[in-house]
């Protein structure tokens, strides 16, 4: 079979996505590769397709048991023999799997890194032909990555023990230069073909809001997405508990996930979500790695995450099948404080020596700053992210909150002067909130206590709404007209550029939302407008196909999306295939899956026609 035939027959797809073909070709020519592709872009196909074409076994190294299980279940559903070897197996199961593997039953075997150099596994590895080692989540070898795992270093040790060096392919979603270089050096990739694919996920709507009442805003948002699956990310375990309880009380089908729950409960809750038994997963960032549920239609960040790497990885779990999805971030100033606390008290860093630790912390603070600016920018949000990852965006994506809002460019010099003047007159001793309160003329205990009501800028801009003052202050920070200290107090300081503004030598122009736009947004929030049902697909047919899928999933004890993705079902509704060959044109329907389930879906579609 050619690679195209494998793609169609085994996976049911007609075309390769960006980067896949190049990586596969290179592997088939025996050359190492490094694939840097965002979450949801289809990294697995890049090693699974060649694995089925190479003569020997492909070992896939993966950090998480859940990830292995999911991928192996998917492969088995597609009629491909694959197995995993990790600590979730009993010893007897492990022995049996190795026995089958020796007989050549599995072209693909998922292995936990710490297994590799055990005596038993090495003994096995020396008896069989290993064509390729595919390292998934390869950034785990790097100390600079988000997720350093010392056990990943065993991969290199293992490769060194093999009589013949297999092809080594590595895949990650982390694109920073340090990580990339670390991966190549540590894994010892030999003249690898490095492919970086676009980070853009145009199907995801991106939005940021700073609501007064986060919970109400989120509930409103969820109500506008009836019947859809979603993830709500919270910064802390405590908040996960609180929010999931509230949602539950408000009648939403909710489950939760964080590191404080027992293994069994975590697993159970995760399954409830993956198997479509619960609609909403409220979780900390501990949830999601390796989750391939393709019909998650929204991701709400109840708090701002600590950096854009995490943010983009987390929103990457939205609509992995390419259908439209919505990602909104609910920002508040407190999020910055929480994240700063996490950075200053990072337990993971305890193994590092003092200098490295300082370096890591400095990097983390810088990342947090960039994340914070994301929440303030009035420019295209997608563009901001793509630029962060070193790509060029189009300045206008048409599918983010900023691109869809009406802005006007406004001269804010007078406001800027007052804010900078106030910072200076108050001796550069206060945070943003106090400065804003001062120029706005708030009468709070704090203001009186610090005697800021005696500041010459006190009440200077009492007519300008505080959200505008905040927007301007943020703009000044982003453009270095002002700066903040890196400690937990975040005190606003003057910079070299401050003077030019206060001396009247520089005009400050910025984009601000038009007044009509703000009214519109407020109205939308009040109304809790229902989202349009997106009349493209025949919903009743879709509903029936979904029911069949659920039945099959239950019977086979696999998550529904592993039977067929939403996208595949929707495509069926559009194509309305009348026979086998037409059914095979549906994306995601391969020969094997057709044999297993095709008839049942076909029958339902034909019945609907009558």
Residues numbered 396-415 forming contacts with Zn ion, rule: CB under 5 A? 397, 400, 403
Shortest approach of Zn ion to residue 572 CB, angstroms? 32
Q: Which is nearer to ligand ADP, 169 or 244 (CB)?
A: 169
**Whole-angstrom Cα distance, residue 156 to residue 168?**
10
Q: Of the candidates 139, 154, 258, 382, which one interacts with Zn ion according to CB under 5 A?
A: 382
Q: Is residue 17 part of the contact set for ligand ADP (CB under 6 A)?
A: yes
Which span sits near Zn ion by CB under 5 A: 171-179, 292-300, 346-354, 392-400?
Answer: 392-400
Distance CA 292, CA 39 (A): 10
Q: Which of residues 245-304 bind Zn ion (CB under 5 A)?
A: none
Whether residue 209 contacts residue 67, with contact meaning beta carbons closer than 8 Å, is answered with no
Nearer CB in complex with ligand ADP: 304/545:
545
| Pairwise CA distance, residues 47 & 34, whole Å | 11
Runs of H (alpha helix) within 445-495: 445-449, 466-478
Least separation in angstroms between CB 220 and ligand ADP: 30
Interface region with Zn ion, contact rule CB under 5 A, candidates 145-153, 188-196, 318-326, 389-397:
389-397
Binding mask 291-330 toward ligand ADP (x if CB under 6 A, else -) reads -x-x-------------------------xx---------
292 makes contact, choosing from ligand ADP, Zn ion, none, with CB < 5 to 8 Å by partner type, with ligand ADP
Residue 490 in the binding site for ligand ADP (CB under 6 A):
no
| By the rule CB under 5 A, 328 interacts with Zn ion | no
Segment 23 to 42, residues that bind ligand ADP, using CB under 6 A: 37, 39-42
- CA–CA separation, 369 and 81 (whole Å): 47
Nearer to Zn ion, 380 or 418 (CB): 380
**Crossing angle between the packed helical segments 154-161 and 119-127, to the nearest 10 degrees:** 40
543-552 LR contacts (CB < 8 Å, sep 24+): 544/604, 544/608, 545/569, 545/572, 545/573, 545/601, 545/604, 545/605, 548/600, 548/601, 548/604, 550/276, 552/597, 552/600
Strand order in the sheet with 130-135: 82-85, 108-111, 57-61, 130-135, 167-172, 33-36, 193-196
* Span 234-293, contacts to ligand ADP by CB under 6 A: 292
**Could you give the CA distance from residue 66 to residue 290 in angstroms, rounded to a whole number?**
7
**Window contacting ligand ADP (CB under 6 A); options: 14-22, 453-461, 471-479, 506-514:** 14-22
- To the nearest whole angstrom, how small is the minimum distance from the Cβ of residue 174 to ligand ADP? 12
> According to the binding rule CB under 6 A, does residue 13 interact with ligand ADP?
yes
Phi-psi category of residue 541: left, alpha or beta, with phi > 0 → left and psi -120 to 50 → alpha: alpha
Query: Contact 569/542 with Cβ under 8 angstroms?
Result: yes
397 binds, among ligand ADP, Zn ion, none (CB under 5 to 8 A by kind): Zn ion
Please tell me what DSSP assigns to residue 476: H
Which is nearer to ligand ADP, 269 or 294 (by Cβ)?
Answer: 294
Residues 6 or more apart whose Cβ sits within 8 Å of residue 100: 83, 106
Residues lying near Zn ion in the complex (CB under 5 A) are found at 380, 382, 397, 400, 403
Residues lying near ligand ADP in the complex (CB under 6 A) are found at 13, 16-17, 20, 37, 39-45, 292, 294, 320-321, 565
């Amino acid at each position: 079979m050619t690679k195209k035939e494998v793609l169609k027959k085994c996976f049911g797809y007609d075309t390769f996505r960006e980067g896949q073909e190049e990586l596969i070709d290179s592997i088939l020519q025996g050359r190492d590769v490094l694939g840097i592709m965002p979450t949801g872009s289809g990294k697995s196909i890049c090693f699974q397709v060649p694995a089925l074409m190479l003569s020997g076994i492909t070992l896939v190294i993966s950090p998480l048991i859940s990830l292995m299980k999911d991928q192996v279940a998917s492969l088995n559903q597609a009629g491909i023999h694959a197995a995993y070897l990790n600590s979730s197996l009993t010893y007897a199961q492990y022995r049996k799997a190795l026995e089958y593997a020796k007989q050549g039953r599995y072209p693909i075997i998922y292995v936990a890194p710490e297994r590799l150099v055990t005596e038993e596994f090495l003994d096995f590895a020396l008896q069989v032909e290993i064509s390729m080692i595919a390292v998934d989540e390869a950034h785990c070898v790097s100390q600079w990555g988000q997720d350093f795992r010392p056990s990943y270093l065993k991969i290199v040790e293992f490769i060194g023990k093999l009589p013949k060096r297999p092809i080594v392919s590595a895949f990650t979603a982390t694109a920073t230069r340090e990580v990339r270089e670390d991966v190549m050096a540590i894994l010892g990739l030999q003249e690898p073909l490095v492919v970086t694919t676009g980070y853009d996920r145009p199907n995801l709507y991106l939005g940021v809001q700073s609501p007064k009442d986060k919970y109400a805003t989120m509930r409103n948002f969820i109500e506008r997405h009836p019947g859809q699956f979603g993830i709500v990310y919270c910064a802390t375990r405590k908040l996960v508990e609180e929010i999931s309880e509230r949602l539950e009380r408000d009648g939403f089908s909710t489950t939760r996930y964080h590191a404080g729950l027992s293994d069994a409960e975590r697993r159970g809750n995760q399954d409830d979500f993956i198997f479509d038994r619960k609609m909403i997963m409220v979780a900390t960032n501990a949830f999601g790695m390796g989750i391939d549920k393709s019909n998650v239609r929204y991701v709400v960040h109840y708090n701002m995450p600590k950096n854009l790497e995490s943010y983009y990885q987390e929103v990457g779990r939205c609509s992995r099948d390419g259908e439209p999805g919505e990602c909104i971030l609910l920002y508040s100033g407190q999020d910055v404080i929480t994240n700063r606390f996490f950075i200053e008290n990072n337990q993971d860093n305890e193994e590092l020596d003092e200098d490295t630790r300082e370096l890591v912390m400095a990097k983390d603070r810088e990342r947090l700053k960039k994340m914070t600016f994301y929440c303030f920018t009035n420019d295209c949000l997608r563009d901001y992210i793509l630029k962060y990852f070193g790509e060029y965006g189009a300045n206008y994506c048409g599918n983010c909150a900023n691109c869809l809002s009406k802005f006007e460019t406004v001269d804010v010099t007078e406001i800027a002067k007052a804010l900078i003047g106030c910072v200076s007159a108050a001796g550069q001793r206060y945070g943003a909130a106090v400065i804003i309160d001062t120029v706005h003329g708030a009468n709070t205990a704090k203001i009186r206590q610090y005697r800021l009501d005696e500041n010459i800028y006190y009440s200077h801009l009492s007519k300008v709404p505080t959200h505008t003052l905040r927007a301007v202050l943020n703009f000044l920070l982003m453009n270095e007209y002002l700066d903040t200290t890196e400690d937990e107090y975040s005190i606003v300081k003057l910079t070299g550029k401050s003077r030019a503004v206060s001396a009247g030598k520089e005009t400050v122009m910025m984009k601000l939302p038009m007044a009509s736009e703000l009214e519109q947004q407020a109205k939308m929030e009040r109304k809790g407008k229902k989202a349009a049902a997106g009349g493209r697909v025949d919903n009743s047919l879709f509903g029936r196909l979904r029911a069949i899928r659920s039945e099959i999933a239950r019977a086979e004890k696999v998550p529904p999306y592993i039977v067929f993705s939403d996208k595949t079902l929707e495509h069926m509704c559009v194509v309305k295939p009348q026979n086998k060959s037409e059914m095979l044109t549906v994306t995601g329907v391969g020969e094997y899956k057709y044999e297993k389930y095709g008839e049942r879906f076909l029958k339902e579609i034909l019945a609907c026609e009558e």
